[in-house]
Amino acid sequence: MLPRLPLAGLIFCGLACPLARPLAAAERADFVIDAAHPGPAVSPTFYGLMTEEINHAYEGGLYAELVRNRSLGEDALIWYPVQAGGLAAHLRVDPSTPLNAELNRSLRLEATGAGEGSAGAANGGFWGIAVRGGETYHLSFYAKEPAGGALEADLESGDGRRVFARARFALGGAGWRQYRADLVPRQSAPDTKNRLVLRLTRPGVVWLQLVSLFPPTYHNRPNGNRIDLMEKMAALHPAFLRFPGGNYLEGNSLAERFNWKRTIGDLAHRPGHRSPWGYWSTDGLGLLEYLEWCEDLGMQPVLAVFAGYTLDGHHVPPGADLQPYVQDALEEIEYVSGGVATRWGAERARDGHPAPFPLRYVEIGNEDFFDKSGSYEGRFAQFFDAIKARYPRLQVIATTPVSSRRPDVLDDHYYESAARFRALAHRYDSYDRSGPKIFVGEWATRESPPSPHFDPLAGIPNATAALSDFVWMTAMERNADLIVMNAYAPLQMNVNPGAFQWRPDLILYNAARSWGTPSYAAQVKFNSGRGAQLARVTAPPAQPGLFWSATQSPDRIWLKLANTTAAPLDVHVAIVGREAAPRPDFRLDAYSDTVVVFNLH
* Chain positions contacting ligand AHR, by CB under 6 A: 52, 54, 245-247, 366-367, 442, 489-490, 502
Dihedral of CA atoms 506, 510, 515, 516 in degrees, nearest 10, equals: 0
List Cβ neighbours of 491 (8 Å cut-off, separation of 6 or more).
Answer: 49, 50, 51, 57, 233, 505, 506, 507
CA distance 412 to 437: 10
DSSP 8-state assignment for residue 25: P
Give the count of beta carbons closer than 10 Å to the beta carbon of residue 148: 10
Our CB check for ligand AHR shows the closer of 54 and 571 to be 54
User: In this structure, are residues 547 and 558 in contact, taking their beta carbons and an 8 Å threshold?
Assistant: no
Give the count of beta carbons closer than 10 Å to the beta carbon of residue 21: 9
Which of 304, 339, 314, 204 has the alpha carbon at shortest distance from 252?
Answer: 314
Our CB check for ligand AHR shows the closer of 42 and 491 to be 491
CA distance 44 to 532: 7
**Minimum Å distance from CB 329 to ligand AHR?**
18
Our CB check for ligand AHR shows the closer of 344 and 414 to be 414
Which of 225, 357, 345, 339 has the alpha carbon at shortest distance from 295?
Answer: 357
Our CB check for ligand AHR shows the closer of 408 and 505 to be 505
User: In this structure, are residues 149 and 200 in contact, taking their beta carbons and an 8 Å threshold?
Assistant: yes
**Minimum Å distance from CB 280 to ligand AHR?**
17
**Minimum Å distance from CB 504 to ligand AHR?**
10
Our CB check for ligand AHR shows the closer of 111 and 444 to be 444
Our CB check for ligand AHR shows the closer of 31 and 380 to be 380
Q: How open is the CA angle 287-291-295, to the nearest 5 degrees? A: 165
**CB crowding 129-147: b at 16 or more within 10 Å, else e:** bbbeeeeebbbbbbbbbee
Residue at shortest CB range from ligand AHR: 246
**Minimum Å distance from CB 457 to ligand AHR?**
20
**Minimum Å distance from CB 509 to ligand AHR?**
17
**Minimum Å distance from CB 370 to ligand AHR?**
8
- Compute CA distances 478 → 156, 355, 486, 531, 593, whole Å: 54, 36, 13, 12, 16
**Minimum Å distance from CB 442 to ligand AHR?**
5
**Minimum Å distance from CB 508 to ligand AHR?**
15
Our CB check for ligand AHR shows the closer of 246 and 378 to be 246
Please give the helix or strand (H or E) that residue 387 lies within, else none: helix 376-390
**Minimum Å distance from CB 526 to ligand AHR?**
20
**Minimum Å distance from CB 415 to ligand AHR?**
7
CA 323, 324, 325, 327 torsion-angle sign: positive
Give 412-464 as a 3 state SS string.
EEEEECHHHHHHHCCCCCCCCCCCCEEEEEEEEECCCCCCCCCCCCCCCCCHH
Our CB check for ligand AHR shows the closer of 54 and 287 to be 54
Our CB check for ligand AHR shows the closer of 334 and 469 to be 469
Which of 558, 545, 546, 570 has the alpha carbon at shortest distance from 595?
Answer: 558
Our CB check for ligand AHR shows the closer of 314 and 388 to be 314
User: In this structure, are residues 411 and 398 in contact, taking their beta carbons and an 8 Å threshold?
Assistant: yes
**Minimum Å distance from CB 470 to ligand AHR?**
20
**Minimum Å distance from CB 399 to ligand AHR?**
9
Our CB check for ligand AHR shows the closer of 208 and 508 to be 508
**Minimum Å distance from CB 308 to ligand AHR?**
16
Our CB check for ligand AHR shows the closer of 179 and 502 to be 502
Please list the residues that pair with 195 across neighbouring strands: 156
Please list the residues that pair with 437 across neighbouring strands: 409
What end-to-end distance do the CA atoms of the chain give, in Å? 33
User: In this structure, are residues 75 and 566 in contact, taking their beta carbons and an 8 Å threshold?
Assistant: no
Our CB check for ligand AHR shows the closer of 110 and 442 to be 442
